[in-house]
Structures are given as structure tokens and as C-alpha cells.
Structure 1
Amino acid sequence: MINGSLLRDAIVSAAYDIQNQKQKVDELNVFPVPDGDTGTNMSMTIGASVKELELLKEPTVEETAKTAASALLRGARGNSGVILSLLFRGFANGLKGKTEANGVDLAEALTSGVEAAYKAVMKPTEGTILTVARVAAEKGRETALQTNDALEVFEAIVNQAEATLEETPEMLPVLKKAGVVDAGGKGFTVIFTAMLRVFQGGEVVKPSGGAPAKPAQVKRTAVAEASGDIKFAYCTEYIVNKKKNADNPLKLRAYLESIGDCVVVVDDEEIIKVHVHSNHPGDAIEEALKFGMLTNLKIENMKEQHSAQVLEAEQLEEDDTYQPVDPEMPYGFVAVAAGAGMQALFQDLGVNNIVTGGQTMNPSTEDILKAIHATPAETVFVLPNNKNIIMAAEQAIKLADRRVCVLQTRTIPQGISAMLAFDPDVSFSENRVNMTKALDKVQTGQITFAARDSDFDGHNIKAGELLAMENGKLSFVDKDLNRVLLKLTKSMVRKDSSFVTVLYGADISDDQAAEAYELLRSKLSDNVEINLINGGQPVYYYIVSVE
């Protein structure tokens, strides 16, 4: 039988062991793009349970499993971390009411965890952590028919997990081509093998680099991170109700770009939605009046806003938790973004709270949940803006004290497009549909670097080479940044494309960005408006939006 104290020690040991081996697991990732790597995400997810588990004194297996599951759920980050948390949550459900666990209990508990994980994944892929866990659970149930000994059943589970892991390259051709096993499956075997060693009488593993890393502070505001040297002082937003025979909105956009930056102009049959930073908001308004009547007008002094939010950020550093607030308005917004310019843009578009994160920095479910509870709204729309953050955001839905809608935004441009589609005067259902439809209207290009040597999707890639991503898929590899930007942008521009927005990152100087802008301007059709914004984002040199 396994008692609660032994299970507690086993999970703590597993947390430290995956932390010690996370780099080995990270290195199994096939895709060369720098990302929130599997080993790191799984380590931080289970590491979130250590402090709470160590406080338990003579617990039952139910108490241990429940404590671990709750902590993992809140600490889950990245798809692999979310799946791991779901395995432990199902495991806890299977041990409900148990003081100790025998072999049958352990086999059934893991089966419950596998079922929970499969249900949460929209399109389960075999040859991943899901397969490793499922086949291991099947072996556990088979063994439990022959013996009720907890140790024998868990040994069978671990042995089968390791055997199935070695078979994953035969299930996923991309793994076989790269000559590696699945990273998530490897993380699972590391964790369960460490638990087995404790069950067998071994000592709890000690961390080689201290306690599991504490997640980075989640920032509530964006402008507070930006430099106090603000070039354009006023953020101006409005909607133009177009008059009959109104001039082409492209002319309004061109004028606004001549007097400011961060210009966003969205046009449909009846209205023009505008956002601009400038030093002369009156000029932005006067020009707009030529196109029709104005409504929803808002002007904010960003220098004053910056000072106030710096003070708020300092206060938050003293108290590193979000302050929950009661709902006071119908709708609110939480977005995940990195880079001061990027975050400020989302805030200008109406986002209440920014969770710092993105590629390589996957925030946890708890990070997102705190931001939701700090948003004074009855319904909170969440924009993950990264495919590896969507599952963690979705786990916050069942934990929140208000209605939460996680939009499937996989990129920053999709998040911006969704915000621009929001209409405060229509119902929740209409907004959800309209904001989701807006995602399909924007194409996203991303330029980053190869984090490792790789032979991927027909490309022989060397570490450090430039990767051009088109709508999340690797398009081509090159070494010249401006050439990559031009080629990628041209490949996304269609006959009906009207706008190209280029967000340049933290590693691109203003002069480099200006040179890139002139190159695009000289090579693209005059019918395409180009907008250049300092996003300040890490990892990606450029993010390109085409509409």
C-alpha cells in the first residue's frame, strides 16, 4: 500500500528530478523555433506543488493527490504542463476518499487522469505524452488484475511508459527523422520514474540548482514598463460614422501616419475605427470630420498615464499579487504580450490587464487567473496570442469567479484584430462570434532565429539562421534579415490586401526598422498601406500583419 506521506515525498522528488533534467528534455524539441520548452514548462508546473506538499503532515493519499492536483492546475504552463496537470487532476479524482492506495487504486487513478487529458485536447496526437500515459495506464490495469500490490503495479506502469516512449519515433515521422523521442513523453517518464524510486525506498531527489524557479512577476500594466521618453503624448481613439460618398479611408490613415505613430484604421461599410498616438489630437479629429460624424471619442495623456502607472507598478512589486476586484462593467479584457510597445498598444485598444509572456515565456494558469480576477468586469475576454498558451488560459475558465471567454488567438496580430472587432453595444454571443471571425481576416508573419540545429520539414537548419514563419508554419530559412522580411511580406500580400503592419522587436534599432520600412515601401504595391510600430517584443525580430 502507498500512504499519503510516501506519495507526497514521491511527487516532491519527481518535481526536483524533472527540474534537474529539464534541459535534457528541452533538447528533444524538434521544432527549431525558440519556445517555452517542454522540460521547462513541465518542471515549473509540477514545481508549483512542492511548497504546498511539504506543508502536509501525515496526509492521506486523497489529501496529497488533491493538494498536488490543485497546485499543478494553477501552475500549469504550456501545453505539456497543462496535460501534466490534467493527468494529476484525474489521478486525484481516482484517489478520492482513499487513506492509502493499492495497485488497483493506482491503475484506476492514472486511467482517470488519462481520460481527463484526452478530453481536454481537441485533436489528440498519438506518439506524444498522451500515448505514453495511456499505454502505461493500460498496462497498470492489466497488472492489477494479477496482483493488488501497489509497488508491482507502479513498476509495470513505469516500465511500460519507458517502452512506449522508445516507440514514439515510429508513431510520429518527425521524431524519427530527427532521431529523438517525444519530449513530453520523456518528461512523463522522468516524473513517474522518480516517484517509483521513492516508492521503492529511495531518498527524495535534491535539486541541483536550488528550489524550482519562481515564475516571473506578471505585470498588470504596460505603459509602466515603457520608457518615460514618450515621443507622442496623446492616445486618440474614435469611431467615424461614414457620411454618404465619404472619401477613401486610406487617405485618413495616410494623414494620421504623417502626424503620429501606432496608427490603426479599420474600415467597413458604415464605420471607420481609429487609433493613433500624436502630439496634436485636434488635428486627428479635424481630419476625421471630413469623413463623417464622430462617436466614442477618447483622448488620453500618455505621459500622465505613464507616471501614474509607474507608481502602480512599484506598488505591485511590493505586493506581487493582483488585487481582485468586483465586476463593475459588462466586459473586460486580459491579453498576453511581451514588449513595452506591444503591451501599450493592447492597453490602448482597451485591454484592462496585460500578462507578460509569449514565446519562451509561457505564463501559468494562475498568472492568467489573477489577471482575470483583477479585471472589473462580469465577462472577461482572454487573448492568449500564442498557441502554447491557449490551453493554460482555458484552464482558468473553471477556476474564475466570473464568466471567461478564451479567444483562440495564436498570434499578436490576431489579438489586435479581435480587439478591433469588439463592439460594446452588442451581446456577448455576437462579440464572441465577431471577434473570432476577425482572426481569419489577418495573416501573420514572424521572423525569428533557429535555437538549435535541425532537419525540419525539408529544411536543413543551423542554429542562428533566420526562420520565416507564415501563419505559424515554417516558410523558409535565410541569413539576411531585410531579405527575409521582404520575401515573407510579399508572400502574404494578396490582390485584395490593403494594410501591412510591421511590429519590430527589441533587437531591432529604429534605424534598422526605418530602412526595412523603406525597402517594403519601394517593393510593395502603392495600394498597400504600410504601418511601422515599435513593438519591443523579444524573440521575434519582426511580426508582420497583413489584412
Structure 2
Amino acid sequence: MITGTQLKDAILSASNHIHNNRKQVDELNIFPVPDGDTGTNMSMTIGAAAKELSGFASDSIGECAEKAASAMLRGARGNSGVILSLLFRGFAKGLKDKEAADGLDLANALLLGVEAAYKAVMKPTEGTILTVARVSGEKGRAAATINRDALVVWDAICDNAEKALATTPDLLPVLKKAGVVDAGGKGLALIFEGMRSVFADGMLIPAVDLSAQETQETATPGNAVAEWEGEITFTYCTEFIVGRDPEIKEDPATLRAFLESIGDCVVVVDDDEIIKVHVHTEQPGDALQRGLAFGQLLTVKIENMREQKRKAEEAAAAAKKGPERVDPVNDYGFVAVSVGDGLSNLFTDLGCEQIVSGGQTMNPSTEDILEAVLATPAKTVFVFPNNKNIIMAAEQAVALAADRKVVVVPTRTIPQGLTALLAFDPDDSDEENQANMLKAAERVGTGQVTFAARDSDYDGHKIHEGEIISLMNGKLMYTDKTPVKAVVHLAKAMIKKDTSFVTLIYGEGVTEEQAEEARASIQARLNDDAEVTVIHGGQPIYYFIMSVE
């Protein structure tokens, strides 16, 4: 029999196991577009349960399962995370009011979750996490008819999860061609294995600290305070470049010695033409004056690290706190998922009271979406996920908002979300608006230009990491040398004789001049009555997002 304490430890162990191996699961993703990968989403989903259970003290397996399922539901990210949460919701339903569970109880509870997961997916596909969950549950129940010992049954569940995982390439040709197994199925097998470690030997798999590796992998240029995370001894981060005067023969080492006397973190790099300086100090003026003794100042940057740290801490506290809940006083309101200041401002201008930060590389959780819904002062809140991997998480928020109605419009792209929002009619019913907004969204062709996150042989295309790639309505179309060439090439394929409107949204890494170059080339391919509108979205990952209507 398995108790609540054992299940708690098993979930903690499973969370650690997929956390330790999530990169391996992420790398099974065969689609080359950068996205919120499966291993990361599943790790963050079960991680929410592990955090919630860290102080759990009851030995009731029913109470433990319920607490874990509730945390996973709210913490679910991406389709794989939602499916995982539904599997554990089945556990909670099947183990309700039980103090301990035998093998048959565990198998039946898992199959309740499998049933819920299949129902939640609009078009269930075999060869995915669903197959691995279903087969392992069925084989577990079969084993329980012979021996109801919990460990015997869980061994059968784990062993058959691995066997089912091995069959996924035979069920999905795209996996077979890529030579990989399904990522969600692999993640689930890891979670089951992490739980077995506790059930079999009482051994909780420890978490490996991946923070140093991840910090290095995801490091991006930031502000001055980012390089100095401890106590700030000196206020001003001072950087300047001096163009050396050939008449001045003084050794730059004397400049270094002076700077070390008035500050720390001193870096002085020089060659025959320039001296580049970095110092943290309370006297930036003195540092600049001493630099002038070697020539002219070419560039100067001074940042107040204490003020930056204060603002960063305030922003972090606000983000952690989340939006404040408000009473539903208006008839309707809107929530959209978006990323990039320009795009978020556009949704706000169109009437969205709350913007959930997220998109392709970081899928927001059900809790994130729920908080935004509850911060919208409306009796009916329409939610626009704007990404196919966020729709299921949004739909899980529907039942959690008890004091208001939540209507999810399953938009898969940003252009679809914008068009759907414009189609809203306050005189129509909620059901009519949902149907009409979705119809409007489906009439929009969406083009996207991004880069390949990994080498891939996908859908007849041999893709190399870093190549510029374009997608039309989610389908991989072309590779090109530059983002501008890619979006123009893509527009040529998307534009039809009756095209009347093209919207070109440019993001990070694209200049205004490049966007104008693309606009002019696309405009030249349209009839005289058609128009191209350019918007600075500021979105990461996607150089261009284009809608064609």
C-alpha cells in the first residue's frame, strides 16, 4: 500500500527527475522553431506541485493527490503540462478519501486521468504522451488483476511506459523520420520512473543544480546592476573610451592605479589608439577627468546601480505579486497573451484590460491567465491565447473563475487575436461573439519569420541551426539568408488576387529601415487598392509577423 507521505516524496522525486533531464526532453522537439519546449513545460508543471507539497504533513494519499492535482492545474504550462495536470487530476479523483492505495487503486486512478486527457484534446493523436499514459495505465490494471501489490503494479506501469514510448515513432511518421521518440511521452516516463524510485526503495532522486549552466546559456546583455548581484559598494557604474593622444606617453597603468584608489571592478584595456575603461565608483567625474589626461573622450556611460537595483526589486516584487483581483462590474472585458511592448500596447489600445506576458518560448501557466481574468472588471471575460500551445492552459482557467464567465477564443497567432478582437460586437451574445470572432480569426493568413533553434530534417526541409525560416499558417515554407528576404518571399506565397490588407509587425533585431524595405517590396506585389501597414511590435524570436486579409 502507498501512503500520502510516500506519494508526496514520489512527486518530489519525479519533479527532480524531469528537472534534471528536461534538456534531454526539450531536444526531442523535431520542429525547428524556438518554443516553450516540452521538457521545460512539464518540469514547471509538476514543479508547482512539488512546491505546494514541500510543507505537506498528512499521511492521507487522497489529500496528497488532491493538493498535487490542484497545484498542477494552476501551474500547467503548454499542452504537455495541461495533459500532465489532467493525469494527476485523475489520480486525485480515483484516490479521493483514501488513506492508502494498492496497485489497482493506482492503475484505476491513472486511467481516470487518461480518460480526462483524451477528452480535453480536440483531436487526440496516437504516438504522443496520450499513448504512453493510456498503455501504461491499461497494462498496470492488467497486472493488478494478478497481483494488487502497489510496487508490482507500478513496475508494470513504468516498464510499459517505456515500451509504449518506443512505439511512438511507428505511430507518428514524423518522429520516425527524425529518429526520435515523442517528447511528452519521454517526459511522462521520466516522471513515472522518479516516482518508482520512492515506491521501490524509498529513495528520493535529488535535484541537480542547473542554474550556472542555464545562466550561461541564456545570458543576454543587460543593465549594469546585472553584473553586480551582491551588495553594491559603489553607486556608479562608469564606462568610457578614450581616444589616445599620440603626444602623451604616460603608461595607462597609472590610470588603472588611480581608478583602483577610488573604486572597484576596474578594467582598463588599451591599444595604440584607444583606452577602454570600466569602474564602479562614487566619483565618476574624477574618473573621467583622469581619463582626459590621456586624450579625448569618445564614449561615456554612467549608470546608477543603486537606483537600477531598487527599480529591479520593485519590478520583481510587482511581478511576483501579480495583478490585483477586482470585482466583475462591467458586462465584458478582454485578456490577451502577448509579448513585446508594441504588440502589448496594440492589444491594450483595442480594449484589453490585462495582457499576460508570454508566447512561443515561455508559455504562461493557467494560474497566470486566471490572475489576469480575475483582474479584469467584467462579468464575461474573453481570453485570446494567440498561440496553439497556450489554448489548453487558457481553457483550464474557465472552471477556476467562479465569480465570472470565461470565454476562450482559441486564437493560434497574434494576427488572429487582433482580428478576433476587432470582430467583437457588444450587441451579440457571448456565444455569438465567440463564434464570430473565431470565424474572423480563421480568415486571416499568418506569416512568421524566425530562426531555426536546432538542426532538423522536417517536412522535406533540411534545416540548420541559425538559418532564417518562414512559416505560413504554422507550416514551414522556406529558408532564406535575411529576415527581409524571408518575409518578402513569404508574402509572395500568401498574397492572392483579392488580398486587400497586409499588416507587417516587426520585432527585435529588425530596424525601421529594414521594415520599410520589406513594406515597399510587398506593396509592389499588391494591386493598387491594397495596403501594407507596418507596426513595431517589439516581439522577441519573430523578426516579422505578417497577416494577410
Tell me by how many angstroms 1:208 deviates.
1.2
Return closer, same or farther for 1:166/1:318 CA change in 2, 3 Å cut-off. closer
Equivalent AA in structure 2 for residue 92 of structure 1? A
Matched position secondary structure for 1:51: helix
* Cα separation, 1, equivalents of 2:429 and 2:107: 46
The aligned runs of 1:231-250 (5 Å cut-off) are none
Equivalent AA in structure 2 for residue 390 of structure 1? I
Tell me by how many angstroms 1:429 deviates.
2.6
Structure 1: 5+ residue stretches without partners: 214-309
1:92 match: 92
Contact 1:355 1:371 in 2 (8 A): yes
1:373 match: 374
Structure 2: 5+ residue stretches without partners: 214-310
- 1:109-153, Cα deviation, whole Å (9 max, x unpaired): 111111111110111000000000100011011000000100000
Q: Could you say which structure has the larger radius of gyration?
A: 2
Tell me by how many angstroms 1:487 deviates.
1.4
Equivalent AA in structure 2 for residue 120 of structure 1? A
Contact 1:3 1:100 in 2 (8 A): yes
Tell me by how many angstroms 1:52 deviates.
1.5
1:317 match: 318
Return closer, same or farther for 1:319/1:156 CA change in 2, 3 Å cut-off. closer
Matched position secondary structure for 1:49: helix
2:335 match: 334
Contact 2:484 2:514 in 1 (8 A): no
1:445 match: 447
- 1:401-457, Cα deviation, whole Å (9 max, x unpaired): 211100010000000001111122332232222212111221100011111111100
Contact 2:454 2:465 in 1 (8 A): yes
Tell me by how many angstroms 1:202 deviates.
4.1
Matched position secondary structure for 1:501: strand
* Cα separation, 1, equivalents of 2:527 and 2:100: 71
Tell me by how many angstroms 1:103 deviates.
1.0
The count of corresponding residues between Structure 1 and Structure 2 is 450
Tell me by how many angstroms 1:315 deviates.
9.9
Equivalent AA in structure 1 for residue 489 of structure 2? K
- 1:499-527, Cα deviation, whole Å (9 max, x unpaired): 10000011111222122222223343322
* Cα separation, 2, equivalents of 1:163 and 1:430: 46
With structure 2 as the length reference, what TM-score do the two structures score? 0.80
* Cα separation, 2, equivalents of 1:348 and 1:498: 23
2:259 match: none
Residue 502 of structure 2 is aligned to residue 504 of structure 1: no
Tell me by how many angstroms 1:57 deviates.
1.0
The aligned runs of 1:32-111 (5 Å cut-off) are 32-111=32-111
Which is worse superposed, 196-205 or 2-11? 196-205
Contact 2:448 2:544 in 1 (8 A): yes
* Cα separation, 2, equivalents of 1:528 and 1:318: 42
1:245 match: none
2:7 match: 7
Contact 2:58 2:64 in 1 (8 A): no
The aligned runs of 1:159-198 (5 Å cut-off) are 159-198=159-198
Equivalent AA in structure 1 for residue 413 of structure 2? T
Contact 2:387 2:414 in 1 (8 A): yes
Equivalent AA in structure 1 for residue 383 of structure 2? V
Return closer, same or farther for 1:465/1:318 CA change in 2, 3 Å cut-off. closer
Contact 1:316 1:322 in 2 (8 A): no
Return closer, same or farther for 1:318/1:372 CA change in 2, 3 Å cut-off. closer
2:365 match: 364
Tell me by how many angstroms 1:485 deviates.
1.0
2:120 match: 120
* Cα separation, 2, equivalents of 1:319 and 1:339: 19
Contact 1:448 1:542 in 2 (8 A): yes
1:463 match: 465
- 1:348-399, Cα deviation, whole Å (9 max, x unpaired): 0000100000101100000000000000000000000000000000000011
1:484 match: 486
Residue 403 of structure 2 is aligned to residue 405 of structure 1: no
* Cα separation, 2, equivalents of 1:149 and 1:314: 51
Tell me by how many angstroms 1:323 deviates.
1.1
* Cα separation, 2, equivalents of 1:318 and 1:116: 33
Contact 2:101 2:150 in 1 (8 A): yes
1:136 match: 136
* Cα separation, 2, equivalents of 1:318 and 1:154: 40
* Cα separation, 1, equivalents of 2:482 and 2:52: 50
Equivalent AA in structure 2 for residue 206 of structure 1? P
1:27 match: 27
Contact 1:17 1:205 in 2 (8 A): yes
Which is worse superposed, 318-327 or 142-151? 318-327
Contact 2:90 2:114 in 1 (8 A): yes
Equivalent AA in structure 1 for residue 8 of structure 2? R
Matched position secondary structure for 1:335: strand
Contact 2:502 2:546 in 1 (8 A): yes
Tell me by how many angstroms 1:319 deviates.
6.2
Contact 1:490 1:524 in 2 (8 A): no
* Cα separation, 1, equivalents of 2:210 and 2:99: 32
* Cα separation, 1, equivalents of 2:434 and 2:87: 30
1:393 match: 394
Tell me by how many angstroms 1:177 deviates.
0.5
Equivalent AA in structure 2 for residue 171 of structure 1? L
1:252 match: none
Return closer, same or farther for 1:2/1:382 CA change in 2, 3 Å cut-off. same
Tell me by how many angstroms 1:210 deviates.
6.8
1:203 match: 203
Contact 2:363 2:389 in 1 (8 A): yes
* Cα separation, 1, equivalents of 2:451 and 2:397: 32
RMSD: 1.8
1:419 match: 421
Equivalent AA in structure 2 for residue 33 of structure 1? V
2:347 match: 346
Equivalent AA in structure 1 for residue 122 of structure 2? M
* Cα separation, 1, equivalents of 2:482 and 2:372: 39
Matched position secondary structure for 2:383: strand
Tell me by how many angstroms 1:67 deviates.
0.6
Tell me by how many angstroms 1:317 deviates.
1.6
* Cα separation, 1, equivalents of 2:107 and 2:429: 46
* Cα separation, 2, equivalents of 1:94 and 1:506: 48
Contact 2:93 2:109 in 1 (8 A): yes
With structure 1 as the length reference, what TM-score do the two structures score? 0.80
* Cα separation, 2, equivalents of 1:112 and 1:523: 55
* Cα separation, 2, equivalents of 1:332 and 1:178: 44
Contact 2:483 2:544 in 1 (8 A): no
2:235 match: none
- 1:211-266, Cα deviation, whole Å (9 max, x unpaired): 9x9xxxxxxxxxxxxxxxxxxxxxxxxxxxxxxxxxxxxxxxxxxxxxxxxxxxxx
